[in-house]
Chain A
Amino acid sequence: MTAVRTTALPSAWRIGLSRGGLEIRQVSREKEALFFTFALPIVLLLIFGSIFDFDIDGTGIPFRQYFVAGIIASGIMSTAFVGLGTGITNDRDDGTLKRLAGLPMPKSAYFIGKVVMVALGSLIETAVLLVIGSLAYGLTLPADPARWLTFAWVFLLGVTACALLGVAISALPRSARTASAVTTLPYICLQFISGVFFPFGQLPGFLRTIAAFFPLKWLCQGLRSVFLPDGVLAVEPAHGWEHGRTALVLIAWCAGGLVLCMTTFRWTRRGEE
């Protein structure tokens, strides 16, 4: 009995990574859900890629390549924000969260597990979209290591911000039944004003201003700075990649999302306290 009390508790990272492994194994065995989740951005890329067969005015760059960057960002937000927002509401509804709260698990381990799962999923999805983009739409993958470094931090900050916001929004739906409606609305709206389906510069100024408050616009822009030739800067409203500002906004969303998670997260259903 005394041995039990003197043995060290496992660390949050160890349990968190183990939870990530558990979640990844679970998701990878749900063949149907896995297929359709991964298929959606790919199908969108292929459909809109066929429709948007034109060059962006005054650049000679095919819009399809611009769209590849947009759909990667959109896919990240879909997995991280919508996926976590609905997944966590499900976990709360079916008692998974309540069970976890009763274990000697540091609360952060649950979130580490989710971020690990979402980051791996987004990375695989991004790789598939890049392969399609380069095979079908002539996207040239950058050879410059500096661009890949940019990709690394934009991807990490983008996934983290979206994931934390997904965790935060999961406190909103009353039940799992309404979770997908609650998360889909902001996701779809942001998609249309953040430069996924249209060149960002073609949007009315007030929509651009609204979009600039949210992470998706910066995620799109950051990814364009990695995968598109600099010629596209001619149609970027800022005429520059604004890496500093991108990092700042995404970090701000990470911090804000973390605060929201800490203050609003519930381990039990509403009214059970």
Chain B
Amino acid sequence: MAETAVRVRGLRKCYRDVPAVDGIDLDIAHGEVFALLGPNGAGKTTTVEILEGYRKRDAGEVAVLGRDPARADRRWRARVGIVFQTSGEAPELTVREVVRHFAGYYPSPRDPDAVIAAVGLTEKAGARVRALSGGQRRRLDVALGILGSPELIFLDEPTTGFDPEARRRFWTLIESLAADGTTILLTTHYLDEAEALADRVAVVAGGRIVETNTPAALGGRAAGTARVSWLADDGPRSVETDTPAKVVADLAARFGGEVPELLVTRPTLEDVYLELIAADGAGDRDGARS
């Protein structure tokens, strides 16, 4: 357990001579929730699929749970959980039948009914898979991904197409897995998702990692200038400042108490993310392969 859960050095992968992954280094600690952020075509999915053992790399070193995924065996597979995009298998079977069936693939699976309860599908356990909503199917996908008590879970864009309530419930589920000490590698388009779930995020653009940091500190967010805005007599006003508390205190003194429409903001994760990928000049690489 001394080694990191995921260790990547100089990872490269080209599609027809166009680099999709162009020299990525990555270290993910055991028990960490790590998010890969980046626009379509940045190389997220290619990177994750190499780590999962699906794609071959052109160059670089990769160790996932201490093994090279390109030479994955069944033992290694039993320690890794992949939450896939929803597949079309067995739509006429019930949730319980599907979960019980897939439990049979693992040397020591979790109790199927406990897993169904953990993903909040107990009420739907007797329902056919076909009859589930999109969010419920995704929960079933997660159930299948965690059945084998994996040490590491891959979640590729897990909540795409969810309504806000379903997304919140899904986050709670992922948080409970993380609390059990499971290492989680997540890719997402949603910055609020990364902010809510991840211990650290890496922003990927143009096949490279632009920055790796905690969500709070990414792009110098924590130390960055704050903006104080309020409603003055002659209309809305705002200033950028390194000392927002002092500005607010001065305003409070000037207004003799409450300041109308007072707001103190720092750059959002979205602001710094957009800045990071724009600086890389890769924000417009849409259409390239992800």
Binding site for B on A (CB under 8 A): 1, 3-5, 7-10, 14-15, 18-19, 21-22, 25-26, 29-30, 90-91, 94-96, 98-99, 101-106, 268, 272-273
Residue pairs across A and B with Cβ atoms less than 8 A apart, 26 shown, are: A1-B151, A5-B75, A7-B107, A7-B108, A25-B90, A26-B89, A29-B93, A29-B128, A30-B92, A94-B89, A95-B86, A96-B88, A96-B89, A98-B54, A99-B87, A102-B52, A102-B80, A102-B84, A103-B77, A104-B74, A104-B75, A104-B105, A104-B107, A106-B74, A268-B54, A273-B56
**CB neighbors of A among B75-111 (8 A):** 75, 77-80, 82, 84-93, 97, 101-102, 104-108
Q: Which of A3, A14, A25, A103 has the most CB of B within 10 A?
A: A103
Q: A15-B105, A98-B54, A98-B84 are in contact. Are A4 and B78 (CB under 8 A)?
A: yes
Contact of A95 (CB < 8 Å), options: B52, B87, B108: B87
The smallest beta-carbon distance between A187 and chain B, in angstroms, is 24
Q: How far is the CA of A9 from the CA of B106 in the complex (A)?
A: 6
**CB–CB B87/A103 < 8 A:** no
Q: How far is the CA of A10 from the CA of B86 in the complex (A)?
A: 25
Q: How far is the CA of A136 from the CA of B86 in the complex (A)?
A: 48
Q: How far is the CA of A105 from the CA of B109 in the complex (A)?
A: 13
Closest 5 CB pairs of A and B: A94-B88, A29-B92, A104-B77, A95-B87, A7-B107
Known: A10-B105, A15-B104, A99-B84. 11 other contacts (CB 8 A): A1-B151, A4-B149, A7-B107, A7-B108, A15-B105, A22-B97, A30-B92, A94-B87, A102-B52, A102-B80, A102-B82
Q: A96-B87, A103-B102 are in contact. Are A26 and B93 (CB under 8 A)?
A: yes
**CB–CB B92/A8 < 8 A:** no
**CB–CB B88/A22 < 8 A:** no
Q: A22-B101, A102-B82 are in contact. Are A8 and B107 (CB under 8 A)?
A: yes
Q: A95-B88, A103-B102, A103-B105 are in contact. Are A25 and B93 (CB under 8 A)?
A: yes
In the bound complex, residues from chain A placing their C-beta under 8 Å from that of B49 are 272
In the bound complex, residues from chain B placing their C-beta under 8 Å from that of A29 are 92-93, 128
Q: How far is the CA of A29 from the CA of B90 in the complex (A)?
A: 10
**CB–CB A4/B55 < 8 A:** no
Contact of A9 (CB < 8 Å), options: B86, B89, B92, B107: B107
In the bound complex, residues from chain B placing their C-beta under 8 Å from that of A19 are 101
**CB–CB A273/B87 < 8 A:** no
**CB–CB A104/B88 < 8 A:** no
In the bound complex, residues from chain B placing their C-beta under 8 Å from that of A91 are 89
The smallest beta-carbon distance between A203 and chain B, in angstroms, is 42
Q: Does B148 contact A (CB under 8 A)?
A: yes
Q: How far is the CA of A18 from the CA of B89 in the complex (A)?
A: 14
Binding site for A on B (CB under 8 A): 49, 52-56, 74-75, 77-80, 82, 84-93, 97, 101-102, 104-108, 128, 144, 148-149, 151
Q: A22-B93, A26-B93 are in contact. Are A9 and B88 (CB under 8 A)?
A: no
Q: How far is the CA of A14 from the CA of B93 in the complex (A)?
A: 20
Q: How far is the CA of A101 from the CA of B74 in the complex (A)?
A: 10
The smallest beta-carbon distance between B203 and chain A, in angstroms, is 25
In the bound complex, residues from chain B placing their C-beta under 8 Å from that of A14 are 104
Q: A95-B84, A98-B54, A272-B55 are in contact. Are A26 and B108 (CB under 8 A)?
A: no
The smallest beta-carbon distance between A6 and chain B, in angstroms, is 9
Contact of A273 (CB < 8 Å), options: B52, B55, B74: B55
The smallest beta-carbon distance between B145 and chain A, in angstroms, is 9
Q: How far is the CA of A232 from the CA of B149 in the complex (A)?
A: 63
Q: How far is the CA of A273 from the CA of B14 in the complex (A)?
A: 11
The smallest beta-carbon distance between B180 and chain A, in angstroms, is 12
- Chain B: CB-nearest residue to A101: B54
- Chain A: CB-nearest residue to B128: A29
Q: How far is the CA of A99 from the CA of B101 in the complex (A)?
A: 14
Contact of B78 (CB < 8 Å), options: A9, A22, A25, A95: A9
The smallest beta-carbon distance between B236 and chain A, in angstroms, is 51
Contact of B92 (CB < 8 Å), options: A4, A5, A15, A25: A25
**CB–CB B84/A25 < 8 A:** no
**CB–CB B93/A99 < 8 A:** no
- Chain A: CB-nearest residue to B97: A25
Q: How far is the CA of A96 from the CA of B87 in the complex (A)?
A: 5
- Chain B: CB-nearest residue to A12: B74
In the bound complex, residues from chain B placing their C-beta under 8 Å from that of A5 are 75
In the bound complex, residues from chain A placing their C-beta under 8 Å from that of B54 are 98, 101-102, 268, 272-273
In the bound complex, residues from chain A placing their C-beta under 8 Å from that of B52 are 102
Q: How far is the CA of A99 from the CA of B147 in the complex (A)?
A: 14
**CB–CB B56/A4 < 8 A:** no
Q: How far is the CA of A29 from the CA of B97 in the complex (A)?
A: 13
- Chain B: CB-nearest residue to A19: B101
**CB–CB B106/A104 < 8 A:** yes
